[in-house]
């Protein structure tokens, strides 16, 4: 197996403040043990900036940040400088977010996210305004998730990332499995299914995944069982 794991909502509960999300106690130890069992074919595939992701999961794992646009192999540190989003788009999204108390803009390299857990009612307005703003930037599109709307370049796609990993020599001959909780994970799940693998949806909601787990605690129980 080649195992792909989302971070927020899959390995840790989603929080109102993204900076407050961490692995549970013994989480790093379990991930390292599973990775060793899979001969380092375990990838943490997240929408987070890979530098941020590396602060939250062991550096000995594969890390794919920015929805797969930023890759770090086991034992390697991320670059201090990532490709940034167009400054004009950054400025426009800051202007969109500023009138809404509780809306936070997060820069994730080329990906920009507006988190609105603190202003849930603002979702439709934010989506409409962001859609108009992104329309002026070639190669960018919107992606919605759980109380977040992201402007991302077309190559920042979890499905494309899974496909690229499976073309790597290290992953040759492996069967891919994706575990994720959000709409941003569906493309990766679909890629796994198309490659003859499997997918597990965490939590409620429509999904292409044929299997489900209720929440992060169940994901950890599943990982522990795999070590027995």
For 123, residues 6+ apart whose C-beta sits below 8 A from its C-beta are: 116, 147, 149
CATH number of 87-153: 3.30.70.1020
Which pLDDT score is estimated for 14? 85
Kindly report, as residue ranges, where domains of CATH 3.40.50.1000 are found in the chain: 2-69+156-227
Neighbours of 17 (CB within 10 A): 10
Which pLDDT score is estimated for 186? 97
Which pLDDT score is estimated for 52? 93
Tens of pLDDT, residues 11-62: 999 887 778 889 999 999 999 999 999 999 999 999 999 999 999 999 999 9
Neighbours of 107 (CB within 10 A): 15
Which pLDDT score is estimated for 145? 86
Which pLDDT score is estimated for 20? 85
Token pair of 25 as six digits: 């106690």
Kindly report, as residue ranges, where domains of CATH 3.30.70.1020 are found in the chain: 87-153
Angle (CA) 23-82-91 rounded to 5° is 100
Residues of the chain with pLDDT under 70: none
Of 6, 8, 52, 182, the active-site residue reads 6
User: Is residue 6 among the annotated active site residues?
Assistant: yes
CATH number of 2-69+156-227: 3.40.50.1000
| Alpha helix (H) residue ranges in the chain | 27-37, 50-54, 87-97, 123-134, 158-167, 186-194, 216-227
| Alpha helix (H) residue ranges in 26-183 | 27-37, 50-54, 87-97, 123-134, 158-167
Token pair of 96 as six digits: 């969109």
């Amino acid at each position: 197996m080649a195992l792909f794991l989302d971070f927020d909502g899959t390995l840790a509960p989603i929080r109102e403040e993204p900076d407050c999300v961490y692995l549970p106690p013994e989480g790093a130890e379990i991930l390292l043990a599973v990775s060793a069992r899979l001969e380092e074919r375990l990838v943490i595939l997240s929408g987070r900036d890979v530098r941020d992701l590396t602060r939250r999961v062991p550096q000995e794992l594969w890390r794919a940040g920015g929805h797969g646009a930023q890759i770090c192999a086991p034992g390697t540190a991320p670059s201090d400088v990532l490709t940034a989003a167009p400054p004009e788009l950054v400025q426009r999204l800051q202007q969109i977010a500023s009138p809404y108390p509780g809306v936070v803009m997060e820069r994730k390299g080329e990906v920009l996210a507006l988190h609105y857990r603190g202003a849930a009612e603002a979702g439709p307005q934010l989506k409409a305004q962001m859609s108009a703003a992104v329309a002026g930037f070639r190669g960018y599109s919107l992606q919605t998730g759980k109380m977040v709307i992201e402007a991302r370049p077309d190559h920042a796609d979890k499905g494309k990332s899974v496909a690229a990993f499976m073309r790597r020599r290290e992953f040759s001959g492996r069967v891919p499995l994706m575990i994720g909780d959000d709409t941003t994970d569906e493309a990766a799940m679909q890629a796994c299914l198309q490659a003859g693998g499997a997918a597990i949806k965490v939590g409620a909601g429509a999904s292409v995944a044929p299997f489900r787990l209720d929440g992060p605690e169940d994901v950890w129980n599943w990982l522990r069982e795999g070590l027995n």
